[in-house]
C-alpha cells in the first residue's frame, strides 16, 4: 500500500512534499503491485540516476542490500529496514515503536471498563510483533489482571490493505469484551475504526495523527515521525551534500521520533476539521482522566531514563 493509506506511507510522503516546497527538489513515487517488483523498482531509479532512492517498508530490507551492491554509486534510504551491518551506500531509518506502543498499553489498561483490551496488527511479521510486545508490556505493567486479545489481519503484505477483513477481526474482539483496540494495520486500520464506531468503543491509532478519522473515538495516535526523519535527511543532503551511508537513524520517545498525539489540545490536522468534529475530539481529550495523562508522562520518563526497559520482539522474537 502506497500513497493514500492514511498512515505510514502518507506521513513519509508529507516529509517529501515539504522538502519539495522548501528545497525545490523533485521526486517520483512508485508503488509496486507485488513484492517481486521491489528489486526492479529500486534498479529503475538507480539506472536513471536519481540522487536518493527511498524505499518505504520493511519489505524492501533484503532487496535494498542486493540492489545497493549492484549500484555502489547510488544512495539508498530504507525506512523500517533494519540491518546488523548497514551497507555503505544505504542509510537505515528505524524506530523504537515498542516504546510508544507501551504507552498505548498503559492508556488502554487504565481506561478500559471491561478489563479487556485488544491489539490488531496488519501482517503478522517481526516488525509488527514489536508493537504487540510493547503494547502488552505496557498494559500488563499497568494492570497485571488485564485481559488481552491479539489478532492479525493476515500473514502477507496484503494484510495492510484489507479494511473489510480488519473490521471483521475487530468486531470479533469486541464480541469477546474488548472495549479499546490499538491498531497497527496501515490502511486496514480504517476497518478497525469503522468497527469501533459501530460499537461505540475507543481505538488508538498509529503512525500518523488518525484522530480525525473517527472524531471522538480515537483516544490518541502513536506518531511515527517518518516525515521529520526523511525531511532532515534530504535537507542534510541538499544543503551539505552529506549522506550518512552505513548508519542507522533511530527514532525514539526521547528524540521525538515516536510518541502520542497531544492529549490536551487540538493539533495539526485536528485544527482543520469542522467545528463539530473539533469539538468531539476536544471533548474526548478533556474526558481522559488526569491520572491517565500522568501515568503516560511517568512511563515516558521511565523509558527515557532506562528505568523501564520495553521488550523488542522484532529482535528477541515473540515469547513462546
- The reply to whether 147 and 136 lie within a common domain is yes
136 and 34 fall within a common domain? no
Q: Does 82 lie in the same domain as 44?
A: yes
Domain count along the chain: 2
pLDDT tens series, the chain, 320 aa: 456 666 667 888 888 999 999 999 999 988 888 878 899 999 999 999 999 999 988 889 999 999 999 999 999 999 999 999 999 999 999 999 999 999 999 999 999 999 999 999 999 999 999 999 999 999 999 999 999 999 999 999 899 999 999 999 999 999 999 999 999 999 999 999 999 999 999 999 998 899 999 999 999 999 999 888 999 999 999 999 999 999 999 999 999 899 999 999 999 999 999 999 999 999 999 999 999 999 999 999 999 999 999 999 999 999 87
Together in a domain, 123 and 211: yes
Can you read off the three cell numbers belonging to residue 191? 476497518
CATH of the domain at 301: 3.40.50.2300
Q: Do both 306 and 160 map to the same domain?
A: yes
Q: What angle do CA 270, 275, 280 make, to 5 degrees?
A: 65
CA dist 244 and 186 (Å) reads 28
The answer to whether residue 176 sits within a structural domain is: yes
Q: Quick check: is 273 in a domain?
A: yes
Same domain for 110 and 219, yes or no, is yes
78 and 207 together in one domain: no
Question: 264 phi and psi, to 5 degrees?
Answer: -115, -40
Note the pTM of the prediction, 2 decimals.
Answer: 0.89
Judge if 123 and 192 occupy the same domain: yes
How many residues appear in the chain?
320
Cα dihedral 60, 261, 128, 5, rounded to 10, equals -50
- Residue 136 Cα distances to 146, 215, 260, angstroms: 10, 25, 17
Q: Report if residue 2 sits inside a domain.
A: no
State which residues form the domain around 197: 97-223+262-315
Amino acid at each position: 500500500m502506497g500513497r493514500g493509506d492514511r498512515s505510514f506511507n502518507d506521513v513519509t510522503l508529507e516529509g517529501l512534499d515539504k522538502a519539495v516546497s522548501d528545497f525545490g527538489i523533485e521526486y517520483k513515487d512508485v508503488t509496486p503491485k507485488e513484492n517481486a517488483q521491489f528489486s526492479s523498482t529500486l534498479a529503475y531509479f538507480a539506472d536513471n540516476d536519481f540522487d536518493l532512492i527511498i524505499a518505504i517498508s520493511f519489505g524492501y530490507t533484503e532487496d535494498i542490500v542486493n540492489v545497493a551492491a549492484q549500484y555502489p554509486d547510488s544512495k539508498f534510504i530504507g525506512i523500517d529496514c533494519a540491518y546488523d551491518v548497514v551497507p555503505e551506500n544505504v542509510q537505515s531509518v528505524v524506530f523504537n515503536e515498542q516504546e510508544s506502543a507501551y504507552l498505548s498499553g498503559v492508556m488502554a489498561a487504565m481506561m478500559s471498563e471491561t478489563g479487556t483490551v485488544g491489539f490488531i496488527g496488519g501482517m503478522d511479521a517481526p516488525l509488527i510483533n514489536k508493537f504487540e510486545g510493547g503494547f502488552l508490556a505496557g498494559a500488563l505493567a499497568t494492570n497485571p489482571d488485564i485481559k488481552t486479545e491479539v489478532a492479525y489481519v493476515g500473514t502477507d503484505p496484503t494484510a495492510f490493505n484489507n479494511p473489510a477483513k480488519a473490521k471483521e477481526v475487530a468486531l470479533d474482539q469486541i464480541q469477546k469484551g474488548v472495549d479499546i483496540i490499538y491498531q497497527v494495520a496501515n490502511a486496514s486500520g480504517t476497518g478497525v475504526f469503522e468497527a469501533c464506531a459501530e460499537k461505540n468503543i475507543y481505538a488508538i491509532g498509529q503512525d500518523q495523527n488518525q484522530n480525525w478519522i473517527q472524531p471522538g473515538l480515537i483516544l490518541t495516535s502513536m506518531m511515527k515521525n517518518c516525515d521529520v526523519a526523511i525531511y532532515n535527511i534530504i535537507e542534510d543532503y541538499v544543503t551539505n551534500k552529506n549522506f550518512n551511508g552505513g548508519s542507522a537513524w533511530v527514532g525514539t520517545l526521547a528524540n521525538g521520533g515516536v510518541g502520542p498525539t497531544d492529549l490536551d489540545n487540538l493539533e495539526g490536522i485536528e485544527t482543520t476539521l469542522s467545528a463539530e468534529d473539533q469539538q468531539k475530539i476536544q471533548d474526548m481529550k478533556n474526558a481522559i482522566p488526569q491520572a491517565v495523562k500522568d501515568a503516560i508522562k511517568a512511563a515516558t520518563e521511565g523509558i527515557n531514563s532506562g528505568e523501564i526497559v520495553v521488550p523488542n520482539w522484532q529482535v528477541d522474537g515473540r515469547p513462546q
